[in-house]
Chains A and B, each alone.
Chain A
């Protein structure tokens, strides 16, 4: 190459290189990799280098981190949680040429510290089996679910284990059981004693029952002197044969002897203890509670979505309904439903809101409360209405104090309104003088991220539905916990993992005296199409709260392909608004256990569908209420409806016609 040309090219490259090198600047971090323990502190150093690796001194370097770590301006890191975490390193530039590095720090799980072996009975009888519970804790005292513990016995001829931690006592003797994982272990000396059982007896409170009826099985073990052995494990199981060849026998048996069948058939209940077995058979008949349901009348709302409803007897003895609207213009409608076959809209109220989500009327039929969300002045709150004459409803007062975030649901009880505030808590508002409502109390959880969806008050207890915090039972005057409207006191709660708890209804069973609380989900697995048909999800959980300190989720009602919303109980019948599943009428008499839908406890269902609805032919039922023998229900897409179950006809009556 010509020397001059070479020189020129070299000069060009030398001139260009620094610019190129600057444009290739990056953030370099030392050390290149970092692993830490929880609570450990380490320092990293980040520098900006050019494309050739030379330090660019005039650049500032900043350190930031999310959860799991903290980092200061000098790059000092403290690890707080195990896992892979990032330190975001930024070198800013007012010209917009920002450099960044996402530096990963690996924080190890704390070393394991101890294993606890639990659920070992004082006496272990030869020939019996039971599950052993193992809990593992690390040095930070976190319970660890991510490790697999191996259980073993020093003498498998005395005690043996399967891979699921089930212990089988093989023969009398002593041995040591050992639980071990990742270098730590725990041991326990145990003894197996001779099994004194020579006889196992089984009996049942019923020889014949229907699907859904809970049968109580009692099993007793006896020694050779006829003494009852009360502390020996007895295992309950069943198998059966359905009377319908296209169906399999199915049901549920608890280890305290409660059994319920889903399908009609012959079921064989077996109890075992060691090598002793006892059996009995139970005949299960179909429940046969189904009835016809007839549509009686409807009140069409065709220009907007409909929300909740409330039906009441007016002061004049006639029957009325109020319905709210959703995502529209803040209207609530009032209806005369004295003749359910001829539902007439008689008045309406329009307020500054986009949604009137909830409507309630006082027991004396004089006061109506409606909720507001999406007010243009963002004040929301509630309105108190005079419905003494539902044809000429008047606004008595507006109350927005503490309620500006929107009121999603309300309840009226004993001259107080329970109004949800911005989905976080509820306020208790005295309306003895409805023209001058006064907030007297408040209930709010303290759990992180707590939220609330609904509240229902009965017998001085407020049942609030708190999404991921489940049901909260609060004394607001019942006396059970010394609470009052101005001093609400929480005394019981229950939660389940889905976090979808949306509505609650308490139910004391007249036939059994058991106290259940029904908890409904609200889930939209496919989103919500406001202009078309939808499929919701979620089901109804039945929790036995008869012993307040030991709630037991004992049953469920789930209609496949649909989801629950609001519900109502009258006597021992449940009226359940099931979104795209319409209204489901369910027999909840007797003791409840298992899958109530599979057991055939559904009495009837009806799907509201109107070609002139706001969304034509798309059932999406919001709420249901029984009033004077008629089932009234509101549908999101079509308005207000009324239906009636046909009378029950005893089986042995034959109707003769000429």
Chain B
């Protein structure tokens, strides 16, 4: 029986969110929702997530005057229902099924090199409850399967943070740079992110690993971290809180997602415009699939484990896109064009 898959995807340089439908053969943006309040400024919709009951979607707008904003929309009408101000460049987020609260990193990508925070928001009242200090440029906000732990990585300080999602405090911090394999370190041009001493907290370092994402395994007691600066994915055992495995990947692993059955890890290689699919049992890359654009970004996997939806940014005036990858055939099967700089992506529903 044919079924339709729906995802939400942001277009960060278009100030739009698109609803993309894939019918098994073709993918197409079926609705485009303009977002933001400052018409002549690019406000940058970045992170997006759907509530566990599927009734709402939540969007972070990175830029503001100067703080970013979290918005709440109805999936039924795509009307805005509420908003609250967060920190600088709020980015990725997720809702815990244990607490019902939303956890969002304040990425502060362009700000001073100082520790940033994770905002905890009550999505019912759209009230920010707490900001938990983590590292510099936190990204990749993901919740453990039981909803009791929150994970994020700090891109510039190279750390993995585990937060107690109930007590709202940091439990453990793992320095990934201490475990990095120097042979795999890229010689990154850090000049672009170089800050003068006046913009940097004392003792703040530039991570060589540059972790950009973390994803808990749905069944195993592990998380996986994208080491964007060293072209590796780190496997971290949560019992020992140590790195137990590293996979050498394509260039610039950026976002990660694991299929709900726990068998496949999907990785976007941002620096080469491709997506890798890995067998987590064997630790081998099954395929590296070229994306339709040169900058691969985010991933959402359908609950039936069949398809991965990958947002790809484009360059300059080129539209962004959502590529659909068949996880069994390991091929790109469809592409839907969306607004410029497609980024955050979230799976919504399957309809028969």
Report yes or no: A401 in contact with B124, Cβ–Cβ below 8 A. no
Asked if A404 is at the interface of the complex by the 8 Å CB criterion, the answer is yes
CB distance from B347 to the nearest CB of A (A): 18
Chain B interface residue bracket vs A: 35 or more
Known: A86-B125, A442-B198. A421 touches B147 (CB 8 A): no
Q: How many A-B residue pairs have CB under 8 A?
A: 146
Q: Which residue of B lies closest to A452 (CB)?
A: B66
Report the separation of the CA atoms of residues A26 and B208 in the bound assembly, to the nearest whole angstrom. Answer: 50
Asked if A376 is at the interface of the complex by the 8 Å CB criterion, the answer is yes
Name B111's contact: one of A73, A405, A408 (CB within 8 Å). A405
Asked if B39 is at the interface of the complex by the 8 Å CB criterion, the answer is yes
Report the separation of the CA atoms of residues A287 and B33 in the bound assembly, to the nearest whole angstrom. Answer: 49
Report the separation of the CA atoms of residues A421 and B89 in the bound assembly, to the nearest whole angstrom. Answer: 13
Report the separation of the CA atoms of residues A459 and B215 in the bound assembly, to the nearest whole angstrom. Answer: 55
Residues of B within 8 A of A522 (CB): 40
Report the separation of the CA atoms of residues A627 and B128 in the bound assembly, to the nearest whole angstrom. Answer: 52
Known: A354-B13, A424-B66, A449-B66. A90 touches B99 (CB 8 A): yes
CB distance from A161 to the nearest CB of B (A): 43
Contact pattern, B 178-206, Cβ under 8 Å of A = 1, otherwise 0: 00000000000001111110110000000
Report yes or no: B110 in contact with A422, Cβ–Cβ below 8 A. yes
Report the separation of the CA atoms of residues A574 and B116 in the bound assembly, to the nearest whole angstrom. Answer: 45
A selection of 12 A-B contacts at a CB cut-off of 8 Å is A62-B167, A64-B130, A86-B125, A88-B127, A94-B146, A94-B147, A102-B124, A330-B317, A376-B314, A401-B191, A404-B109, A422-B110
Report yes or no: B66 in contact with A379, Cβ–Cβ below 8 A. no
Report the separation of the CA atoms of residues A292 and B39 in the bound assembly, to the nearest whole angstrom. Answer: 33
Report yes or no: A64 in contact with B129, Cβ–Cβ below 8 A. yes
Name A408's contact: one of B41, B96, B166 (CB within 8 Å). B41
Report the separation of the CA atoms of residues A352 and B196 in the bound assembly, to the nearest whole angstrom. Answer: 24
Report the separation of the CA atoms of residues A404 and B194 in the bound assembly, to the nearest whole angstrom. Answer: 10
Decide if the interface of chain A is mainly helix, strand, loop or mixed: loop
Asked if A237 is at the interface of the complex by the 8 Å CB criterion, the answer is no
Nearest 7 interchain pairs by C-beta: A405-B110, A528-B39, A329-B317, A451-B65, A374-B13, A66-B127, A92-B98
Asked if A20 is at the interface of the complex by the 8 Å CB criterion, the answer is no
CB distance from B274 to the nearest CB of A (A): 16
CB distance from A216 to the nearest CB of B (A): 41
Q: Which residue of B lies closest to A65 (CB)?
A: B129
Name A449's contact: one of B65, B125, B195, B295 (CB within 8 Å). B65
Report yes or no: A405 in contact with B122, Cβ–Cβ below 8 A. no
Report the separation of the CA atoms of residues A352 and B14 in the bound assembly, to the nearest whole angstrom. Answer: 15
Report yes or no: A352 in contact with B109, Cβ–Cβ below 8 A. no
Name A374's contact: one of B109, B168, B196, B340 (CB within 8 Å). B340
Report the separation of the CA atoms of residues A66 and B101 in the bound assembly, to the nearest whole angstrom. Answer: 13
Name A354's contact: one of B38, B146, B193, B316 (CB within 8 Å). B316
* Count of chain A residues with a beta carbon within 8 Å of a chain B beta carbon: 57
Report the separation of the CA atoms of residues A328 and B129 in the bound assembly, to the nearest whole angstrom. Answer: 38
Residues of B within 8 A of A512 (CB): none
Contact pattern, A 408-437, Cβ under 8 Å of B = 1, otherwise 0: 100000000000011110000000000000
Known: A449-B66, A527-B39. A329 touches B192 (CB 8 A): no
Asked if B349 is at the interface of the complex by the 8 Å CB criterion, the answer is no
CB distance from B320 to the nearest CB of A (A): 10
Q: Which residue of B lies closest to A64 (CB)?
A: B129
Asked if A93 is at the interface of the complex by the 8 Å CB criterion, the answer is yes
Asked if A373 is at the interface of the complex by the 8 Å CB criterion, the answer is yes
Report yes or no: A353 in contact with B316, Cβ–Cβ below 8 A. yes
Report yes or no: B98 in contact with A449, Cβ–Cβ below 8 A. no
Report the separation of the CA atoms of residues A64 and B123 in the bound assembly, to the nearest whole angstrom. Answer: 13
Known: A424-B66, A528-B40. A94 touches B191 (CB 8 A): no
Q: Which residue of B lies closest to A329 (CB)?
A: B317
Residues of A within 8 A of B125 (CB): 66, 86, 88, 102
Asked if A464 is at the interface of the complex by the 8 Å CB criterion, the answer is no
Report the separation of the CA atoms of residues A400 and B195 in the bound assembly, to the nearest whole angstrom. Answer: 10
CB distance from B64 to the nearest CB of A (A): 8
Residues of B within 8 A of A354 (CB): 13, 42, 316-317, 340-341
Besides A405-B63, A424-B66, 11 new A-B residue pairs in contact (Cβ under 8 A), listed by A number:
A92-B147, A92-B148, A100-B124, A374-B340, A376-B316, A404-B193, A406-B110, A423-B63, A442-B199, A449-B67, A451-B65
Q: Which residue of A lies closest to B129 (CB)?
A: A64
Residues of B within 8 A of A405 (CB): 63, 89, 109-111
Asked if A96 is at the interface of the complex by the 8 Å CB criterion, the answer is yes
Report yes or no: A422 in contact with B63, Cβ–Cβ below 8 A. yes
Asked if B162 is at the interface of the complex by the 8 Å CB criterion, the answer is no
Contact pattern, A 506-546, Cβ under 8 Å of B = 1, otherwise 0: 00000000000000001010011010000000000000000
Looking at A65, A405, A451, which has the most chain B CB atoms within 10 Å of its CB?
A405
Report yes or no: A422 in contact with B66, Cβ–Cβ below 8 A. yes
Report yes or no: B146 in contact with A378, Cβ–Cβ below 8 A. no
Name A94's contact: one of B42, B100, B148, B341 (CB within 8 Å). B148
CB distance from A173 to the nearest CB of B (A): 56
Q: Which residue of B lies closest to A529 (CB)?
A: B39
Report yes or no: B39 in contact with A524, Cβ–Cβ below 8 A. yes
Report the separation of the CA atoms of residues A288 and B130 in the bound assembly, to the nearest whole angstrom. Answer: 61
Q: Which residue of A lies closest to B39 (CB)?
A: A528
Report the separation of the CA atoms of residues A34 and B120 in the bound assembly, to the nearest whole angstrom. Answer: 25
Contact pattern, A 48-70, Cβ under 8 Å of B = 1, otherwise 0: 00000000000010101110000
Q: Which residue of B lies closest to A70 (CB)?
A: B130
Report yes or no: A98 in contact with B341, Cβ–Cβ below 8 A. no
Report yes or no: A376 in contact with B63, Cβ–Cβ below 8 A. no
Residues of A within 8 A of B129 (CB): 64-66, 88
Asked if A318 is at the interface of the complex by the 8 Å CB criterion, the answer is no
Report the separation of the CA atoms of residues A455 and B14 in the bound assembly, to the nearest whole angstrom. Answer: 26
Report the separation of the CA atoms of residues A408 and B66 in the bound assembly, to the nearest whole angstrom. Answer: 13
Residues of A within 8 A of B195 (CB): 401-402
CB distance from A132 to the nearest CB of B (A): 38
Name B42's contact: one of A90, A355, A439, A528 (CB within 8 Å). A355
Looking at B13, B120, B122, B317, which has the most chain A CB atoms within 10 Å of its CB?
B317
Name B127's contact: one of A86, A93, A423, A524 (CB within 8 Å). A86
CB distance from B251 to the nearest CB of A (A): 14
Contact pattern, A 306-329, Cβ under 8 Å of B = 1, otherwise 0: 000000000000000000001111
